[in-house]
Amino acid sequence: MLSRDTVGGVLAAVEPQPRLVDWSIFALVCFETLSGLLSFTVGTSDGAWLFWLHAVAGLTLVALVGFKLYRVRHRVTNRRLWTRATALSLLLTVLALATLGTGIAWVIGADADIWLWNLLSVHVFFGLLLVPVVVLHLRTHFRPPRRVDFEDRRAALQYAGLLVGGAVLFRAQETTNRLLGTTGVERRFTGSKPVEGSSFPVTSWVADDPDPVDTETWTLSVGGRVETTLELDYDDLTTGAELEALLDCTSGWYTVQNWRGVRVGDLLDAAGLADDARYVRFVSVTGYRWSLPVEEAREALLATRVGDDPLSHGHGAPLRLVAPGRRGFQWVKWVEEVSVRRRGDPAQWLVTLISGFD
Ligand SMILES: Nc1nc2c(c(=O)[nH]1)N[C@H]1C(S)=C(S)[C@@H](COP(=O)(O)O)O[C@H]1N2
Ligand SMILES: [Mo]
């Protein structure tokens, strides 16, 4: 049996001193925000380390937030200590626990539909909401770090202990999931859960929702840094190419489908590339767009069919980009323009978010 004293002793040994706890919570929140956002761009397993770090840092935060809440509990339980800042601190506590809780629950395989959202989207929502509240909280509670904070030799060991603890917990979670066969095993390294079969969700990023595209009047233009600009009707497309590819949406699901259509490399060969061609940009009828480096674009597909059927309107008919290894939001739907460019297209990040708003 563990006595209270032993538990207290162990806690005291691993708990860094207060100001250090506070500053490392801040540092980890910054890290989680950045790594979380960056993870949206990772689609291949060579970037899996980013998700792993995000998870381990999250588990370390659980311990640090635990220390912190235990330390400041009197300020909440003792009504006489309440100030105006207390309400904000309480809000922050709720947001922090909700973000950590939904993140952990999602990884071990839980899900729930909350209005239109699943647990992962709720995790992202709480996490983003947390950032401005942390900034406000800092404004009233700011205490600059002091040199002595970093001269404490024990601190390095304590942090090593906390991080290793986080890593071990994460490993243990993976193993338990596998042993028990819980749904957590189905999560891809990106956290996405599988959707089996031929019907999968129709997802549009924010407000991108065009009317069905009429294939009679629709054309595809291939232009920019090419030798000959092409203007193709639907019937001009040579759609014999096939590609099995995994679509992984940042809202937390993935599906493997067999796509059929035009290989982008064939289109580029037909138009002929200029010497300075570096990127290929795919533009939707809505203006939504994404670019890929030429070599990668060559291997991508502009699909007219998925599985045994022609694309539905929701999935991007008549033509949608299939970009293996890229996250779903980069798979532009309702493509009407392929333009070859000398440079990438930084504005695409903004356009993608606001496309469809008038
Ligand atoms: N034009 C356009 N293309 C788009 C989107 C969009 O909103 N507009 N959403 C993207 C997102 S977020 C995903 S996950 C995939 C989803 O493809 P699906 O609806 O066929 O499942 O399309 C991508 N292509
Ligand atoms: Mo998505």
Q: In this structure, what token pair is assigned to residue 120?
A: 């992962």
Residue of 220, 222, 224, 250 lying closest to 235 (CA atoms): 220
- The DSSP secondary-structure symbol of 312 reads P
Q: How many other β-carbons are positioned within 10 Å of the β-carbon of residue 144? A: 7
Task: Name the closest-CA residue to atom 1, ligand 1.
Answer: 333
pLDDT of residue 110: 84
* Residue extent(s) of CATH 3.90.420.10 domains in the chain: 219-354
Ligand 1 site, residue 52, Cβ cutoff 6 A? no
Ligand 1 site, residue 290, Cβ cutoff 6 A? no
Q: Which residue has the higher pLDDT, 228 or 3?
A: 228
**Is the pLDDT confidence value at 203 over 60?**
yes
What percentage of the chain exceeds 90 in pLDDT? 68
Average pLDDT, the chain: 91
How far, in Å, from the CA of 233 to the mean position of ligand 2? 28
Burial of 98 (C-beta count, 10 Å sphere; 0-12/13-18/19+): middle
**Measured from the CA of 327, which atom of ligand 1 is nearest?**
14
Q: How many other β-carbons are positioned within 10 Å of the β-carbon of residue 56? A: 20
Task: Provide the CATH number for the domain formed by 219-354 in this structure.
Answer: 3.90.420.10
Q: Which CATH number fits domain 4-187: 2.60.40, 1.20.950, 1.20.120, 1.10.287?
A: 1.20.950
Ligand 1 site, residue 202, Cβ cutoff 6 A? yes
CA-based end-to-end distance of the chain: 65
Encode pLDDT of 207-249 as tens digits.
Answer: 788 999 999 999 999 999 999 999 999 999 988 999 999 999 9
pLDDT bracket for residue 177 (50, 70, 90): confident
Token look-up 């700011």 returns 142
pLDDT of residue 352: 86
Q: In this structure, what token pair is assigned to residue 19?
A: 């100001």
Length of the chain: 358
* Residue extent(s) of CATH 1.20.950 domains in the chain: 4-187
Helix pair 119-141, 18-39: axis angle to 10 deg: 140
Residue of 34, 27, 120, 18 lying closest to 68 (CA atoms): 18
Q: Helix, strand or coil for residue 118? A: coil
